[in-house]
Amino acid sequence: MTAMMVRLQEELFDPGSLQFTLFSETRKTGGIVTFTGYVRAIDSNGIPLKSLFLEHYPGMTEKSIKHILSDAADRWDIESIGVVHRVGWLPPKDPIVWVGSAAAHRSEAFASCEFVMDYLKTQAPFWKKEETEEGVKWIDSHHSDEARAARWATS
């Protein structure tokens, strides 16, 4: 049975303390892989970012993330896995998302963490918009993200 944690919040989080908590509740874990996504300081044209807005679909977003974590727990032998995702307006350089996967061996931890991030990008209802001195614009999805998620598809 894999322990799962899903948290959506406006508040800042500390990746170090999240990893500490994840590890403290495990017994057979020998390795943890974590990923932290941050707000960039500039947009894709090199213009300084004022802020990033994360919109979500209350209810569906949480359900989607739980579904992704359940899929990960079905595929790999992991002891504990968690996602923290922020919503609302975030300043540049702030953490946006954290994924942590704890397993007895590193291969399961690496694979499941990457799987969860790839699916979060394409399956969980979040939408980003960036604010610069030139105004506010919604971010388009990337085909490369869909291609990364498609790699995990099972036949």
Residues that bind another protein (CB under 8 A): 37, 54-57, 59-60, 63, 85, 96-97, 117, 120-129, 138-141, 146
User: HEC profile for 94-131?
Assistant: CEEEEEEEEECCHHHHHHHHHHHHHHHHHHCCEEEEEE
CB of residue 38 to another protein, shortest distance in Å? 11
CA gap 73, 77 in Å, rounded: 7
- CB closer to another protein, 54 vs 69: 54
CB of residue 117 to another protein, shortest distance in Å? 6
- CB closer to another protein, 46 vs 58: 58
- CB closer to another protein, 19 vs 64: 64
Measured CA distances, 67 to 24, 43, 63, 114 (Å): 24, 31, 6, 15
